[in-house]
Amino acid sequence: MAVAAVGLLTPGFLTQISIFSILTAAAFTGCVAIGMTFITLGGNVVSFSLGVTLSATTIIFTASLPFGLFAAIFAALAFSAAVMAAQGWLVGYLGANPIIVSLAALSIITGAGTWITGGQGVYPTGSGGEILSGTIGYLPVPVMVCVGLMLVGQLIVTRTSFGRRLIMVGSNRKAAEIVGARPASTTVGAYLLSGVATGVAAILISARYRSGDFELGNGYDYAAISALLVGGNAIQGGAGSPLRAVVGALGIATIQSLLVLWGLSTQLQYLVVGVAVLLAIVLQAAGER
Amino acid sequence: GPEGKRIALFIGPTQDKFLGGITRGVTDAAAAKGMKVTVFSSPFDPTLQAQQIDDAVAQKFDMLILQPISQKAVVPPLTRAKAANIPVVLVVVPLTDASSQDLYLSYAGYDDRALGSLAGETMAKQLTDAGHKEANVVIVAGSMDEGKAPIRQKAFVAALESHPGFKVVATEDTKWNPVTAETMAGQLLARFASKGIAGIYGMNDTLANASIQAIVAAGLKPGTKPGNIIVVGGNCQGVGIENIKNGKMAATLFDNPVDEGKLAVDKAADYFNGAKLDKAYYLTPAEPITSANVAAFEKPCTY
Amino acid sequence: MLQLDRVSKSFGAVLALSEVSLSFEPGIVHAICGENGAGKSTLVKILSGQFAATAGSILYQGSPVAIPSSRAAQQFGISVVAQELSVCPDLSVYDNIWLGSVETPFFHKRSTLRARARKVLSQLGQSDLSLDTPVRSLSLGHRQLIEIARALVRNAHTLILDEPTATLSDGEIGLLFKAIESARAEGCAVVYISHRLNEIYALCSTTTVLRNGRLAYTGPTSALSREDLIRHMLGRPSSEMFPPLGKTGREAALTIGRLNVPERIRDFSARVAAGEIMCIAGQIGSGAIDVIEAIAGRAYDASGEVEVGGKRLALGSVERSLGAGVILVSGDRATDGIFLNLSVLDNLVAANLSGLSRGGMLRQAELVKFARASGQKVGIDVDRLKARAWQFSGGNQQKLAFGRLVGCKGIRVLVMNEPTRGIDVGARADIYGLMRSFCDEGYAILATSTDVEEVVGISDSVVTMYRGEVVGRYRRGEADSARIVRDITHPSPEGNGLLS
Amino acid sequence: MDARLSGVLKSRDARPYLVAVPILLAVLAIDHGQGRVLTLSSAFSVLQQFATIGPTALALGLTMIAREFDLSVAGMTNFAGCVAVLCGVQDPLLGILAAGCMGLVVGAAQGFLTIALRLSSVAATLGGLLTLAGAGYVITGNATVGYPRMDVALMVNSPVLAIFSLRSIFALTTFVAAALILAYTRIGRDLIATGSDPQAARVAGVRAGLMVVGVFAVSGFLAATGGALVSYSIAAASPAALTNTLIPAVAAAIIGGVSLSGGRGTPLGIAGGVLLLSMLRTGMSAVGIPPFAQDLGTGIVLFAVALADAEHLRMRFYELQRIGRKRPA
Ligand SMILES: Nc1ncnc2c1ncn2[C@@H]1O[C@H](COP(=O)(O)OP(=O)(O)OP(=O)(O)O)[C@@H](O)[C@H]1O
Ligand SMILES: Nc1ncnc2c1ncn2[C@@H]1O[C@H](COP(=O)(O)OP(=O)(O)OP(=O)(O)O)[C@@H](O)[C@H]1O
Ligand SMILES: [Mg+2]
Ligand SMILES: [Mg+2]
């Protein structure tokens, strides 16, 4: 609310340019944050491997563009879903520590990726990615896709039996097992969905910036965690939603943009964002009591 | 002679295509000359790099080829390397402090001051060609805390502002991230909507491409014609070449990391052959890449 | 002498205690009774510094005192066994006994303190329990004993025990009573809370009854008949506690043959017919709970021939057990019973999601209808479907755990462990009624309990266990409390028991 | 005797040390008798790594033992480095002192926020992390700051007794102190109790809130002094992540037996986790394994640790065995 009010008073904020660039930036983080929400909601804290999965997926997408857009999208989503689902299997079926598993995946994907690409860039050949970076009507495609993903995610969490099971597992794993919520396969499902959401972000980013690159996913883990927490999802699991995650991402992007509009120096921008996130978290905690 | 010499290469994350290119340049050229390279890579972590240098010094390598991840933080370990009489060749960025000049033998690579200047001059020329007498330009920069970006920024500003009427009105630090770059560019366009922005300098083609995205999203036109926003990039990358070909980007500058790696190894070999090295060997493009000459650069720019 | 003078406590609109005046005299064991939610624990928490009273005062030797924290209560000489188990699993027995004590010095491992801890433990019959054992490896009952030891070791002038026996079995209860008696004899004022009326009569000379936060009765226990006591608690005369036995079917719903769990159970076998309630009685460590856990699929190393409805069940997976129609109702509500953070509705539909969804999508209207129906069946306020489960009292929480079984497809066997742990007489009768009504619908129930009265009252058949082996089997009418207590405390001469 | 030995081998503290053995053997095998591994200089190198990651891992590990999670250590090391470098030009001790006090105060403030508002500490310290990072940018003006005292820089890293340095001695000291406090004092016991079950600890009379504030203060202090020494050693401080310590610190703490659900873990175990990671890094680069293979190796070791620790693994093995047994019948 406060952010919106300040925004209205800032010249330039209400322009189409400004709003679209906020929305676009929030869309990428939003997708990853939606993915992170599934992991957190199911009681597996956070994953540090979403960013690197995103990077690897941009390469898969770019490399398979010559086979056509749909093939590339399919390959990218299948890859990121598989990478995350494998981690979900270790966590869900074997009870491995989710954080260590994600760090292991981070290392292995980085190593394998460097090995396979030989540190060489991957360039899109042929076209097809353009429609993903354009606009439909007025809205940029990434924004529409992110909103769509959020709606689907929200639907899954609130309206499907899988979503209900996921919340049960995150809230009390043992009790969930007793009533037949199948914690192991539910966990795999949650990781798989997080992989899909991350894959969507990867496709949008690599289509928009026309490259597949191991640096593209840098920083998304922290950005997603921040969005999650600012949106008010419970880090211990069992409560939260994709909607909240996206609202968090949007809030952070808005603050960042306002600071550029005010012409604050880079260093002050960082400080103010930090303080704003802290305030958002504190105010929210105070509000919930 | 260089045969059998052991070289330690210190570099940032090798999955980065620019740094991966340097790594390939160094390892291939060294193999051709019979030298053996061990790669020490770190995720842009100067403390780890300092430690790796110390380890390499303890292992008595014959030569260190080094990308200083932090120009300041390499000073203590390079002091120890000097004490152990191990020669150092720098790549990517030289050490600028006067006090650290005796810590390395030579710098081999691109001259970022020249690149920044050339970018500034190119921008000025493009602006003039498009009929601007006065123009506001913004810089979408890489990491400004140290390294290439601040050098390029300073040189660019100096070159551009030597043309009266042209001014750099803002520089935003994007940490080389395209998504940040697009947001920053978008906000800058909004902030200076009333004054108008005539040109954007994206420090590499990825950042320049992100700026172009922002321009398009804002309903404006990137290009070289009057009324278009002029974008100049750098580090010629595939997407830059493509953008020049389809007229969205005015220019970029040639900058090939594989060449840079080769140059460093050549100088190392010269040193082992007994030659006395200069303080710096610069690779600098003579002219910008524009629509006029883009065809020649398509191949070397996809490293 | 510790006195409460017109103490009130409200939580928002809820008045938990209203103008309660009481005195606790040295050398007297004083019982406090009341339904779930009557305000007993609230009173304890006020005396132990966890809550501040909204009005009224606490007097010691006639002068008012303030008790702002549990530390202050301790310094003042009040020591408490809280209702919710409060031992730390990651500390040793020794550390738990001295945890939070104002007496512990900075370097806390002292031989004098060890000696005192050991003495209290042996008073409670645990002389062979090593002080350095991590509490994580101990059973619920042992943990409760350690918490009691913590209260005893502090040498308080007022000792408060809030449902200390809910997880203990009779042998240990006897020892606890001895320990309480010796504290009393030394001039300690004891406040004792329990839902087990037998204990009140056995131990306490004064009884106070709370109803809806108000004092309903206070006076000598001897002047109070059982019926009067229940009438004071419920505000109405007691109905029959145990429902009449029903008709049990003939075909076996569950047969267990040669069930083994390494180091826990040896060769357990039993046969439960549809409509039958079978109770396994045994002390902590007897293996009774392990039978339940194994049948529910929670013991991965269990082996044996188990058949449900004539079909073979492979043990070791909760999913398989559920698939075969076996579902667990746990007495440990917080850890594996219900979802405390979720709503009543979510809890009631939890076990039946697949029945309430089509193609993976939940049918919202059905959900609410289903939850209302099951809530009604088990007696939960159906206007509070949106409330969170943690806002409900223990008794109502346990009803939730039952409620979600109503209308669940494919369930044949309910296995339960301590189905009425910590539940008041009123709610308890409801739960027994529910158990019987499930049986009437053809379910079979296999339950464990450490409460012998309950075992005798509800079961169609009883199996007694000692140290992993079956001691005796009784049909309807054959079992009586005395024989069961003898079985579960003294092994028969020929069976030495698995763990002896 | 046998029972005690197997007890030690099974304890969570021992695990990192046990995992370290096969890694050492593997590295030795790759070295192929060229003597690049078992040297004084590689021992020195391992301890230097230990000095870099150790204090942060200990800081984070202690908060995890208290069932909290101090995400801010990542920003704390950096910011403290900036503070130390800016304040310590005249007197290096003054710089360390300033950094330490800052860490103590900021840590305590985060602990207080967590307790007073009943926030999840991950959320509170995320705010702390971003704010500290921003503060670092502000005090350095978004530029790497050099530390002009080259004498100090060389001193903190110069070998003492061949394999130690001032920095690693500091790190080892903090571990020894923490281990002693946790094992032998009431504070240690109360800390474990708080992490094990905060409500129970409170009911028993432990000042659980104070313990949380205290552990965050200590965490801030450790991360800050560790970060200050790192900055001295490279004679520079930068607001952009100077050292990537968070991820190795989390990994070290968990490998060392600290549990996310609190109450478990010891400084000895955490030290083992840090040593394991340091050995892995030093060992692999000593024998010249290329970077991508180092990443793969690290990942495989982490997977192995995650599996060895997996709760349900034994159960799954049992099932496999069972299926195996059934087939012939
Ligand atoms: N933390 C709380 N917040 C709000 N209300 C509470 C809280 N704790 C207790 N209450 C209220 O206090 C009343 C008395 O609760 P209390 O725990 O004292 O009951 P009790 O007699 O101990 O019941 P039981 O036999 O189930 O232990 C409850 O009805 C409830 O309304
Ligand atoms: N935090 C709370 N907020 C609102 N109401 C509460 C709260 N805690 C308890 N209550 C109310 O208090 C009543 C009794 O709760 P209480 O916690 O005393 O039961 P309990 O102690 O868990 O039961 P038992 O002791 O039998 O296991 C319930 O009706 C519930 O609605
Ligand atoms: Mg109570
Ligand atoms: Mg209660």
Query: Would you state the pLDDT for residue D208?
Result: 93
Half-sphere exposure of C17 (CA within 13 A, CB side): 27
Question: Whose CA is closest to atom 9 on ligand 2?
Answer: C391
C–D touching, 3+ CB–CB pairs within 8 Å: yes
A220 contact residues in B (CB cutoff 8 A)? none
Cα C343 to ligand 2 centre (Å): 15
Give chain D as a 3 state SS string: CHHHHHHHHHCCCHHHHHHHHHHHHHHHHHHCCCCCCCCHHHHHHHHHHHHHHHHHHHHHHHHHHCCCCCCCHHHHHHHHHHHHHHHCCCCHHHHHHHHHHHHHHHHHHHHHHHHHCCCCHHHHHHHHHHHHHHHHHHHHCCCCEECCCHHHHHHHHCCECCCECHHHHHHHHHHHHHHHHHHHEHHHHHHHHHHHCHHHHHHHCCCHHHHHHHHHHHHHHHHHHHHHHHHHHHCEECCCCCCCCHHHHHHHHHHCCCCCCCCCCCHHHHHHHHHHHHHHHHHHHHCCCCHHHHHHHHHHHHHHHHHHHCCCHHHHHHHHHHHHHHCCC
Query: What residue has token string 């500058």?
Result: B253
Distance from CA of C358 to the nearest CA of A (A): 9
Q: List the single residue in A with minimal CA-CA distance to B215.
A: A17
D310 contact residues in C (CB cutoff 8 A)? none
Instruction: Inform me whether the pLDDT recorded for C158 exceeds 60.
Output: yes
Neighbors of chain C with 3 or more C-beta pairs under 8 Å: A, D
Instruction: Decide which of D266 and C426 is more confident.
Output: D266
Report pLDDT digits (tens) over C82-126. 888 889 999 999 999 999 998 888 988 888 999 999 999 998 888
Helix H or strand E segment including B212: helix B205-217
Ligand nearest to the CA of C212: 1
The predicted complex's ipTM stands at: 0.88
Query: Would you state the pLDDT for residue A42?
Result: 95
Cα C320 to ligand 3 centre (Å): 37
Our mutation pick for probing the ligand 1 site, out of C17, C41, C195, C430, counting the most ligand atoms within 8 A of Cβ, is: C41
Helix H or strand E segment including B109: strand B106-110
Nearest to C149 by CA among C125, C130, C190, C121: C121
SS3 assignment, position B303: coil
Spell out the domain ranges in chain A. 2-288
Query: Would you state the pLDDT for residue C148?
Result: 93
Answer whether C344 contacts ligand 2 (Cβ < 6 A). no
C388 contact residues in A (CB cutoff 8 A)? none
- Per the rule left: phi > 0, alpha: psi between -120 and 50, beta: everything else, A210 is left
Choose from D186, D311, D316 for mutation: most chain C CBs within 10 A.
D186
Q: Do A164 and C328 touch (CB under 8 A)?
A: no
Which residues fall inside 5 Å of ion ligand 4, going by CB? C 41
Rounded to the nearest 5 degrees, what angle is found at the Cα of B173, between the Cα atoms of B169 and B178? 110
Tokens of residue D104, six digits: 């103590």
Q: List the single residue in D with minimal CA-CA distance to A270.
A: D134
Choose from A275, A277, A283 for mutation: most chain D CBs within 10 A.
A277
Which residues fall inside 5 Å of ion ligand 3, going by CB? C 40-41, 83
**Using CB atoms, which residue from B14, B80, B145 is nearest to D238?**
B145
Query: Would you state the pLDDT for residue A129?
Result: 67
Q: What is the residue type of C214?
A: R
Question: How many B×D Cβ pairs under 8 Å?
Answer: 111
Question: Whose CA is closest to atom 1 on ligand 1?
Answer: C11
Report pLDDT digits (tens) over D118-162. 888 988 998 999 999 999 999 999 888 999 999 999 999 989 898
Give chain C as a 3 state SS string: CEEEEEEEEEECCEEEEEEEEEEECCCCEEEEECCCCCCHHHHHHHHCCCCCCCEEEEEECCEEECCCCHHHHHHHCEEEECCCCCCCCCCEHHHHHHCCCCCCCCECCCHHHHHHHHHHHHHCCCCCCCCCCEHHHCCHHHHHHHHHHHHHHCCCCEEEEECCCCCCCHHHHHHHHHHHHHHHHCCCEEEEECCCHHHHHHHCCEEEEEECCEEEEEEEHHHCCHHHHHHHHHCCCCCCCCCCCCCCCCCEEEEEEEEEECCCEEEEEEEEECCCEEEEECCCCCCHHHHHHHHCCCCCCCEEEEEECCEEECCCCHHHHHHHCEEEEECCHHHHHCCCCCEHHHHHHHHHCCCCEECCEECHHHHHHHHHHHHHHHCCCHHHCCCEHHHCCHHHHHHHHHHCCCCCCCCCEEEEECCCCCCCHHHHHHHHHHHHHHHHCCCEEEEEECCHHHHHHHCCEEEEEECCEEEEEECCCCCCHHHHHHHHHCCCCCCCCCCC
Chain centroid, CA A287 distance in Å: 26
Tokens of residue C388, six digits: 């969170």
pLDDT confidence tier of residue B74, bands split at 50, 70 and 90: very high
Q: List the single residue in D with minimal CA-CA distance to A230.
A: D123
Ligand nearest to the CA of C392: 2
Question: Whose CA is closest to atom 27 on ligand 2?
Answer: C394
In angstroms, the CA A44 to CA A184 distance is 12
pLDDT confidence tier of residue C492, bands split at 50, 70 and 90: very low
In angstroms, the CA C52 to CA C16 distance is 12
Question: How many A×C Cβ pairs under 8 Å?
Answer: 74
In angstroms, the CA B83 to CA D157 distance is 15
Question: How many A×D Cβ pairs under 8 Å?
Answer: 161
D150 contact residues in B (CB cutoff 8 A)? 75-76, 79
Cα C42 to ligand 1 centre (Å): 6
The CB density around residue A148, as the number of other CB atoms within 10 Å, is 11
Query: CB of A211 within 8 Å of any CB in chain B?
Result: yes
- Per the rule left: phi > 0, alpha: psi between -120 and 50, beta: everything else, D12 is alpha
Domains located in chain D, CATH noted:
6-326 (1.10.3470)
C339 contact residues in A (CB cutoff 8 A)? 168, 171-172, 175-176, 238
What is the rounded average pLDDT of the residues D91-104? 96
What is the rounded average pLDDT of the residues C371-394? 87
Query: Would you state the pLDDT for residue C496?
Result: 38
Answer whether C391 contacts ligand 2 (Cβ < 6 A). yes
Q: Do B238 and A210 touch (CB under 8 A)?
A: yes
Least confident stretch, A145-149, A232-236, C329-333, C384-388: C329-333
Give chain A as a 3 state SS string: CHHHHHHHHCCCCCCHHHHHHHHHHHHHHHHHHHHHHHHHHCCCCCCCCHHHHHHHHHHHHHHHHHHCHHHHHHHHHHHHHHHHHHHHHHHHHHCCCHHHHHHHHHHHHHHHHHHHHCCCCECCCCCCCHHHHCEECCEEHHHHHHHHHHHHHHHHHHHEHHHHHHHHHHHCHHHHHHCCCCHHHHHHHHHHHHHHHHHHHHHHHHHHHCCECCCCCCCHHHHHHHHHHHCCCCCCCCCCCHHHHHHHHHHHHHHHHHHHHCCCCHHHHHHHHHHHHHHHHHHHHHHHC
Q: How far apart are the first and last CA of chain C?
A: 46
Cα A275 to ligand 4 centre (Å): 41
**Using CB atoms, which residue from A161, A167, A178 is nearest to C354?**
A161
Average pLDDT over chain A reads 89
Q: Do D233 and B76 touch (CB under 8 A)?
A: yes
Neighbors of chain A with 3 or more C-beta pairs under 8 Å: B, C, D
Q: Domain A2-288 carries which CATH code?
A: 1.10.3470
Instruction: Inform me whether the pLDDT recorded for B29 exceeds 60.
Output: yes
Q: List the single residue in A with minimal CA-CA distance to C317.
A: A177
Answer whether C41 contacts ligand 2 (Cβ < 6 A). yes
Query: Would you state the pLDDT for residue C500?
Result: 29
pLDDT confidence tier of residue D328, bands split at 50, 70 and 90: very low
Instruction: Inform me whether the pLDDT recorded for C248 exceeds 80.
Output: no
The pLDDT tens digits along chain A (289 residues) read 455 555 555 666 666 677 888 888 899 999 999 999 999 999 998 999 999 999 999 999 999 988 889 999 999 999 999 999 999 999 999 999 999 999 999 999 999 999 998 877 777 766 666 777 777 777 888 999 999 999 999 999 999 999 999 999 999 999 999 998 999 999 999 999 999 999 999 999 998 888 888 888 988 998 999 999 889 898 888 999 999 999 999 999 998 888 888 888 888 888 998 998 898 888 887 776 6
Instruction: Inform me whether the pLDDT recorded for B104 exceeds 80.
Output: yes
Neighbors of chain D with 3 or more C-beta pairs under 8 Å: A, B, C
Least confident stretch, B157-161, C393-397, C398-402, D16-20: C393-397
Instruction: Inform me whether the pLDDT recorded for C316 exceeds 80.
Output: yes
Report pLDDT digits (tens) over C278-312. 999 987 778 899 999 999 999 988 999 999 988 99
Least confident stretch, C167-171, C257-261, D26-30, D130-134: C167-171
Query: Would you state the pLDDT for residue A7?
Result: 56
pTM of the model: 0.90
B50 contact residues in D (CB cutoff 8 A)? 233-234
pLDDT confidence tier of residue D218, bands split at 50, 70 and 90: very high
Query: CB of A175 within 8 Å of any CB in chain C?
Result: yes
Query: Would you state the pLDDT for residue B289?
Result: 95
Average pLDDT over chain C reads 87
Q: Taking a C-beta distance cutoff of 8 angstroms, is the pair C338, C322 a contact?
A: no
Cα C386 to ligand 4 centre (Å): 21
Q: List the single residue in D with minimal CA-CA distance to C45.
A: D203
Residues of A numbered 179-218 whose beta carbons fall under 8 angstroms of chain D's beta carbons: which are they? none
Residues with CB under 6 A from ligand 1: C 11, 14, 16, 34, 36-42, 83, 393-394, 424
Domains located in chain C, CATH noted:
2-240 (3.40.50.300), 252-489 (3.40.50.300)
